[in-house]
Chains A and B, each alone.
Chain A
Amino acid sequence: MGVMTGKNLIEVEGLKKYFNVGGGKVLKAVDNLNFFIREGETLGMVGESGCGKSTAGRTILRLYEPTGGSVRFNGTDIYKLSPGKMKAMRRDMQMIFQDPYASLNPRFTVSDIIGEALDIHKMAGSSGERKKRIEELLDLVGLNTDHATRYPHEFSGGQRQRIGIARALAVNPKFIICDEPISALDVSIQAQVVNLLQELQDRLGLTYLFIAHDLSMVKHISDRVAVMYLGKMVELADSEELYSNPIHPYTKSLLSAIPVPDPEIESQKKRILMSAEGGGPIRSADEKTEETSLVEVSPGHWVAMPH
């Protein structure tokens, strides 16, 4: 958990991303998200597969064009930026991807992968400077600098993910979206990567949006946690508060699914089940969905309530 200054680095307002699925239907992958992330903070984002977490992350970085809403970075609405200014803005916002096997171009060497951002933003004046910076980044993420000329397929999953982290760090970003950065990794490697992320946050003053479905890991790394369900945010609170005092039925159900490492408790634990309301996020384009808005039930603890 990083050093917080209290200033809001990211402010997301009414963010919507709908996909056309044909037949006049739309998939409301992300529907009316409102939240902010303080500078130096880690906001965890949890929810089941397909709830729109990754889409939200990619829309915030404008890898997908939003259907509606705004994302302000340091007060600037990034959706209103021209392509040129957006390109410059990308130096401040980066992403670490889920699948370390798919997120590295198999035909690039490690130094090409990490150096690409340096080339795009012309951040290295000479090839010597570029090489030095790449070695610096490899060292930062704990990789052997001799590996710069190797290809991704020669590395293990954990090493590849560290290459992905070095790539994201190359442009000196302030904000990084970690899109399930550990879910494709072996359990023994997960801790290594999470510790590296925390260490980097402390050293470089980074702000994270940490997307995951592993609830225990999210609790460990996050200052605050947001719970997403069917494209909407249903609960947002400090991690301690959320885990000890969940209010929304979906959060309760989600938390009851965390395995307990004690077989006796685990066997007696009761799962709280919840049925999907309204049948999922695909609806016809004009159909009204139940409008909910976040209500602050206690300081900093927000829960979605119907109007």
Chain B
Amino acid sequence: MANDNITNKQSLPVVTANDFEPVNINERESEVIKRESLTAWRDTWERLRRNKVAMSGLVALVVIIIASIFGPYVAYWVHGYDYQTNDLMATNQKPSALHWFGTDDLGRDMFVRTWSGARISLIVGVAAALIDLFIGVIYGGIMGYFGGRVDTIMNKFSEVLYAIPYLLVTILLLVVFEPSLGTIILALTITGWINMSWIVRGEIMKLKNREYVLASRSMGAGTGRLLFRHLLPNASGPIIVTLTLSVPNAIFAESFLSFLGLGVQAPISSLGSMVENALTGWMYYPWRMLFPAVLISIIMLAFNLLGDGLRDALDPSLKNK
């Protein structure tokens, strides 16, 4: 049928203006947006929620955080011992109903020590990452926003600092000062903020010439408003990802320093020092190494999975690149 119409031109009906009538669509009505309004954060959360790998990282982290907060109390409440209660009659015991993760060479309960060690590791990791964030955002923000000579000088300084092997600086610092939680965090942040400052610098440089920033300037916005209302919120994606990924680095560094004996000092436990302690007898008492080592691995893996997922969720255009 359709074919006949095309070949036989004469049979096409003549169309005149009278054949048309206005549809009378209300312009305003046609512009109503039906989609539910989502903020950028809700949007990100929706995307993150659909990422099973990242969510498993998040769930694992939540479980570990809860366990490290309440684990030691639970053990204290059930059995009545804390991280330094030792029982020399029960050293190097296998996991049992009394000692869920076994005991170490001094007869201290491994369950309590593992979770309080994880607590130390998380505190160090998160605190170091937050300090990195604070210094990095300010330093990087100044470099990126002002540019020019300010940027050149500040950037050279951070490059020089970055070129010094961080382990050297850290070990020196910990030898000079008494090793404590504060010194370890200081040692980790002394060079740790540089990476964050570079990320922030790059983002600010990219964003400061965007038209919405110009528009805000043309309305008379000052530096503070431009930085805190326009530039940093729009740079928050990469900042959050860098923050999430720098936590496991700090945790690993802390464990590594503790393993070397430069971390928090006994009797306080740390995952790294527990692994170091277990090294001597790991062939006979593998669980003494197993629990802290596995926990470090899970914490690091979980942070990395979450960080990767956040990167995809915050900037979907980066995915599969």
Contact = CB atoms under 8 A, between A and B. Distances in A.
Interface of A: 58, 61, 63, 86-88, 90-91, 93-95, 97-99, 102-107, 116-117, 120-121, 142-144, 146-147, 149-151, 154-155, 159, 164, 167, 171
A91 B217 CA distance: 12
A97 B220 contact: no
A58 B214 contact: yes
A164 B215 contact: yes
B233 A97 contact: no
Interface in B209-225: 210-212, 214-221, 225
A117 B219 contact: yes
Contacts of A86: 220
B303 to A, nearest CB: 26
A140 to B, nearest CB: 13
Interface of B: 27-28, 31-33, 35, 37-40, 210-212, 214-221, 225, 229-230, 233-234
Contact of B217 (A63, A102, A151, A155): A63
B70 to A, nearest CB: 37
Contacts of B225: 120
A120 B220 contact: yes
B36 to A, nearest CB: 10
5 contacts: A97-B214, A103-B210, A116-B219, A116-B229, A144-B31
B218 A150 contact: no
A288 B108 CA distance: 85
Given A63-B214, A97-B211, A107-B40, A154 B35 contact: yes
B234 A106 contact: yes
A167 B70 CA distance: 52
A171 B234 CA distance: 25
Nearest to B33: A154
Given A120-B225, A121-B220, A150-B37, A95 B215 contact: yes
A160 to B, nearest CB: 11
Nearest to B212: A105
Contacts of B31: 143-144, 159
B37 A154 contact: yes
A103 B211 contact: yes
